[in-house]
Amino acid sequence: MHQNLFQNGHAHAEVYEAIRADYARDSKAVKFFDAIWIGALIAGLIDLFELSSLWFVLAAIFTMISLRYFVDQSNRNHMLHRIDWDNQPFE
């Protein structure tokens, strides 16, 4: 859900800190979900001859979750750079 942080924040620094905190929190989630889908993929490749597709389904699910967090991270990173750029003292 979209939230207009500039409407609720009193200053750019407050909005910047809120975005940075979310970025730091979600960085841990990306690492966690990446580890799960890579582990599931490896387990699926090891268990390939058992013809169990459960590992590949889990790998696909956690890959999608990880990609969702990655896209959110990219958007937040862009906003942090944009705030930095907008606050530059150009002469």
The pTM assigned to this predicted structure is: 0.65
* pLDDT of amino acid 43: 81
pLDDT tens string for the chain (91 positions)?
555 656 666 677 777 888 888 888 888 888 888 888 888 888 877 876 666 677 788 888 888 988 888 888 888 888 888 877 777 665 5
How big is the CA angle at 30 (ends 69 and 81), to the nearest 5 degrees?
65
How big is the CA angle at 84 (ends 14 and 22), to the nearest 5 degrees?
50
For residue 47, give the DSSP letter.
T
Taking the CA atoms of 17, 19, 22 and 24 in sequence, report the sign of the dihedral they define: negative
Tokens of 83: 């705030």
